[in-house]
Structure 1
Amino acid sequence: MKTPSQPRAIYYIVAIQIWEYFSFYGMRALLILYLTHQLGFDDSHAITLFSAYASLVYVTPILGGWLADRLLGNRTAIITGALLMTFGHVVLGIESDSTRSLYAALAIIICGYGLFKSNISCLLGELYAHDDPRRDGGFSLLYAAGNIGSIAAPIACGLAAQWYGWHIGFALAGIGMFAGLLIFLSGHHHFHHTRGVNKQALRSKKYLLPIWGWLLIMLCIAPLFFTLLLENNGSGYLLVAVCAFAVIMVARIMMRFPEHRRALWQIAILMMTGTLFWVLAQQGGSTISLFIDRFVNRQLLNIEVPTALFQSVNAIAVMAAGVALSWLARPEGKIRSALRVWLKFALGLLLMSVGFMLLALNARHGGLNGQVSMGMMIAGLALMGFAELFIDPVAMAQITRLNLPGITGLLTGIYMLATGAVANWLAGRVAQQTTEPQINDTAIAAYAHFFSQMSGWTLDCVVLIVTFVGLRRCFTPSPLTLPETEHD
């Protein structure tokens, strides 16, 4: 039987996702190296700033999701976010070694990312009926195709930075984001059936000003707020406050929709498990990047491969495996097995564990002979990339499948908060184990121990999940299913 084709609008969503990945991952590939090489930050300071920035870009989607649900609609939020991210990368591309301009640029990108990240998934979810069997394939396609940008970005931005300077590499990331926005705008006629701006709500007055006026004030104040937060290393305090708010919101959703409480609990547990996964995966931009820069033999045909280019390996693995999984995915009807979802998560964690195991073996071998293998490094990174396809697409599909009015964007933002903000902040704390005052045998031993620990923790989590699934199958007489949302 022929697989039903995807809605045409998905290709414009995929296009802007590709260029958003290009801008974000191009800058991400350069940031830790720029901080240590150009600005002279020590490892501890660089990792702290990197993790704070990476954490905050996932704090803002909870507010961005709320604004899209109540006021802007997903499409308008995405356009506004893309414009802010373009401007932030342009500021970062201005040739200046001032830390103030660095913090300001990162703050603007943080605000733009908040309006973009969660809402791109929600806009995709709007294209399908709640029981449409194409939904999982659509999310896998978005996740995999978006990685075209993250494959090209470290290569293009890394080479631009090496040949012409750091700021040309950063500026190139901004140009990519603007190109994606233009493509997305060209397909506007395919989105007429999606939610638009709530004009009545924007025009309503609150505290003497219309809501649109308060939005403009917020747009001016937010970048300044995040600039000060980055300068004073205050991301952890904000994160605690936002997480407390998120817990309250999830509790309220459960009280409001008691018939969906079982599915909401599963999503909450998926969020916690996904957080552990991303604590490990986000080491790629900090500890793993520094390890490659300092210890891996990067000579290929008498040419030294730039460190930033290794960031493409993960994305290539996601792209290749994601396309295959999308084609192999079969429609599964209205009944969804919760056990199948957990087995997918377990497989993703297992692949991550094996990837870190390869990195640990590579580091130990390098400590003995002074040469860390580039081939084994690439193999480990590829396994980690493959693992991602069994985490985020699975969780996002579960969240959007609930299709609760006014709630989907908020839940997606909370998922981003847990697996992005909390995971990145924890990743920075965990990564401090690798910081050493001198780059020597002690430092490479610290990396070997760190990679081994990461592998062990992940394997323990896999054992717990598989044990849980086995027990549920033994004690549950009929297949465990996820309830679907009823519509009149």
Structure 2
Amino acid sequence: MKTPSQPRAIYYIVAIQIWEYFSFYGMRALLILYLTHQLGFDDSHAISLFSAYASLVYVTPILGGWLADRLLGNRTAVIAGALLMTLGHVVLGFESDSIWSLYLALAIIICGYGLFKSNISCLLGELYAADDPRRDGGFSLLYAAGNVGSIAAPIACGLTAQWYGWHIGFALAGIGMFIGLLIFLSGHRHFSHTRGIDKQALCAVKFVLPTWGWLVVMLCVAPVFFTLLLENNGAGYLLAIVCLFAAQMVARIMVSSPQHRRALWQIVLLMLTGTLFWVLAQQGGSSISLFIDNFVSRRLLNIEVPTALFQSVNAVAVMAGGVVLAWLIRPEGKTRSVLRVWLKFAFGLLMMGCGFMLLALNARHGTVDGHASMGLMVGGLALMGFAELFIDPVAMAQITRLNMPGVTGMLTGIYMLATGAVANWLAGLVAQQTTESHISETAIAAYQHFFSQMGEWTIGCVAVIVLLVIAARLLFSPPVPCLHESRGD
């Protein structure tokens, strides 16, 4: 039986996702190296700023989801977010090593990411009916195809930064985002059935100004606010406040929608498990990147491979594995669907744990030979990349499957908050275990211990999840009728 083709609009969504990944991961691959090499930050300071920025990037999707649900619609929010991210990368591209310029650029990107990230997934969700069997395949395709950008970005931006300077590398990331926006706008006719701007709500006057006026004020104030927050290392305080607010929002949704309560609890548990996964995965941009820069032998055919290029490895694994999974996925019945979701999560965590154990082996190799192996490094990063396919696409599909008008964007934003903001902030705290004041045998031993610890804890969590799934299967599966053999008299 032939699998139904995806909606035409998905290809324009995939295109802008590719270029958004290009801009975001191109800058991400350079950021911590720029802080340590160009601005002279020590490892601890660089990790703190990197994790604060990465955390705040995922705080704003809650507000972006709310604005899309109530006022802008998903498509308009995506366009506005892409414009802001382009502007932020342009500011990073200016030839200046001013800390204030850096903070302002990061703040603008944070605002743009808030409007873009959760709403691109919700826009994709609008293309399908609640029971459309193509939904899971569409999300896997989006997630995998987007990684084309994250494969190309570290290579293009990393080599550009090495040949022409850091700021040209950052500017290239912004150019990519703008290209993606132009492609997306060219396909506007395919989104005519999606929800648009609520003009009546935007023109309604509240507290002297119309709503659109308050949006303009917020657009001007928000970058200044986040600039000050980055300068004063206040991300953790804002995150705590936002998490309390998000918990209250989830509680209100549960109270007002008792028919969805069981599904909402499942999503909450997926958020918590996904947070654990991303605390580990986000080490790639900080502690793992610094390990590669300091300890991995990067000579290949008498050429030194830039550290930034290693950020492409897990993206290659995501893309290759995602294409295969999107092709293999078939419509699933309702029987034990919850158990399938948790088994996918457990498998993703298992791959992540194995990846860290391989990095630990590599660090041990480095303590003996004086430098770690590039091959083992690539293998570990590939396992971690493959693991991602069993986490976010599964969770996003579950959230959009709820089909709850007015709250889907907020729930997606809250998922981003947990697995992005909270995970990145915690990842920064965890990565501090690896910092040393100078490069030494003690430093590489700290990495070995750190990687081993992460792998052991993750595999332990997998065992707990599998045991719970088995217990749930035994306790809640319908009893199998017994067949009694007939007896002779």
Relative to the length of structure 1, the TM-score reads 0.98
Q: Indicate the SS of the match to 1:138.
A: helix
1:289 alignment partner in structure 2: 289
Which digits, 9 at most, give the CA deviation of each residue in 1:269-307, with x for residues without a partner? Answer: 000000000000000000000000010000000000000
Partner Cα separation in structure 2 for residue 302 and residue 138 of structure 1: 42
1:143–1:322: 8 Å Cα contact kept in structure 2?
A: yes
Structure 1 residue 313 corresponds to structure 2 residue 317: no
Inter-partner Cα distance in structure 2 for 1:478 and 1:242 = 42
Q: CA deviation at 1:18?
A: 0.1
Shift of 1:335: 5.4
Matching of residues 163-182 of structure 1 within 5 Å = 163-182=163-182
1:246 aligns with 2:268: no
1:169: how far off? 0.2
Letter in 2 for 1:37: H
Structure 2 counterpart of 1:147: 147
Letter in 2 for 1:85: M
Once the two structures are TM-superposed, the CA of residue 44 in structure 1 deviates from its matched residue by 0.6
Amino acid at match of 2:383: L
2: CA distance, partners of 1:33 / 1:477:
52
In the alignment, is the contact (CA less than 8 A) between 1:21 and 1:149 conserved in 2? Answer: yes
Equivalent residue, structure 2, for 1:263: 263
Aligned to 2:130: 130
Distance 1:376 1:473 in 2: 38
Structure-1 residue corresponding to 2:339: 339
Distance in 2 separating the partners of 1:111 and 1:402? 27
Q: Percent identity?
A: 82
- The question of 1:400 aligning with 2:416 is answered no
Gaps of 5+ in 2: 480-489
SS of 2:419's equivalent?
helix
1:348 aligns with 2:370: no
**In structure 2, C-alpha distance between the alignment counterparts of 1:282 and 1:232, rounded to whole Å:** 23
Does structure 2 conserve the Cα–Cα contact (< 8 Å) formed by 1:148 and 1:319? yes
Counterpart check, 1:79 vs 2:59: no
Q: Which letter does structure 1 place at the counterpart of 2:71?
A: L
Q: 1:369: Cα distance to partner?
A: 1.2
Alpha-carbon separation, structure 1, partners of 2:19 and 2:334: 34
Equivalent AA in structure 2 for residue 98 of structure 1: S
Contact 1:133–1:333 (CA under 8 A) maintained in structure 2:
no
Distance apart, 1:438 and its partner CA: 1.1
Larger of the two Rg values belongs to structure: 2
Q: How far, CA to CA, are the matches of 2:283 and 2:77 in structure 1?
A: 30
Q: What corresponds to 1:414 in structure 2? A: 414
Partner of 1:207: 207
The answer to whether the aligner puts 1:107 opposite 2:92 as a matched pair is no
Q: What is the distance in 2 between the residues matched to 1:406 and 1:292?
A: 44
1:312, distance to aligned residue in structure 2 (A)? 0.2
| Distance (Å, rounded) in 1 between the aligned partners of 2:46 and 2:369 | 29
1:277 alignment partner in structure 2: 277
Cα-to-partner distance string for 1:320-351 (whole Å, 9 max, x where unaligned) = 00000000001114556100000000000000
Structure 2: distance between partners of 1:67 and 1:336: 35
SS at match of 2:97: coil
Partners of 2:239 and 2:189 lie apart in 1 by 39
Alpha-carbon distance in structure 1 between the residues aligned to 2:106 and 2:129: 37
Q: Match of 2:315, as an amino acid?
A: A
CA distance in 2, matches of 1:94, 1:65: 31
Offset at residue 474 of structure 1 (A): 1.1
Tell me which amino acid in the other structure corresponds to 1:468: L
Letter in 2 for 1:188: H
Q: What amino acid is the match of 2:208?
A: L
| Number of the residue aligned with 1:304 | 304
Aligned: 1:462 with 2:466? no
Q: Distance in 2 between matches of 1:58 and 1:456?
A: 28
- Name the CA distance, whole Å, in 2 between partners of 1:241 and 1:456: 32
- Provide the C-alpha distance between the structure 1 equivalents of 2:336 and 2:28, rounded to a whole number of angstroms: 36
Aligned residue type for 2:48 = T
Give 1:485's aligned residue: none
C-alpha distance after superposition, 1:406-454 (max 9, x if no partner): 0100000000000000000000000000000110100000000000011
Which AA in structure 2 matches 1:147?
Answer: N
**Partner secondary structure for residue 196 of structure 1:** coil
1:357–1:452: 8 Å Cα contact kept in structure 2? yes
Please give the alpha-carbon distance, in whole angstroms, between the structure 2 residues aligned to 1:256 and 1:336.
27
Kindly provide the amino acid, as one letter, of the partner of residue 191 in structure 1: F
Kept after mapping to 2: 8 A contact 1:131/1:333: no
Task: Find out whether 1:193 has 2:196 as its counterpart.
Answer: no
Which deviates more from structure 2 when the two are superposed, residues 222-231 or residues 456-465?
456-465
Question: Which residue of the partner structure matches residue 447 of structure 2?
Answer: 447
The equivalent residue for 1:56 is: 56
For the pair 1:41 / 2:30, whether they are aligned, the reply is: no
Q: Counterparts of 1:3 and 1:57 in 2: how far apart (Å)?
A: 37
Task: Give the residue type in structure 2 aligned to 1:102.
Answer: L
Q: State the partner residue of 1:234.
A: 234
Question: How far apart in 2 are the matches of 1:282 and 1:245?
Answer: 24
Structure 1 outlier segments of 4+, above 3 Å: 333-336
Paired AA for residue 300 in structure 1 = L
Gaps of 5+ in 1: 480-488
- How far apart are the structure 2 equivalents of 1:343 and 1:294? 37
- Structure 2 distance, partners of 1:403, 1:163, is 49
How far apart, CA to CA, are the structure 2 residues paired with 1:37 and 1:336? Answer: 52
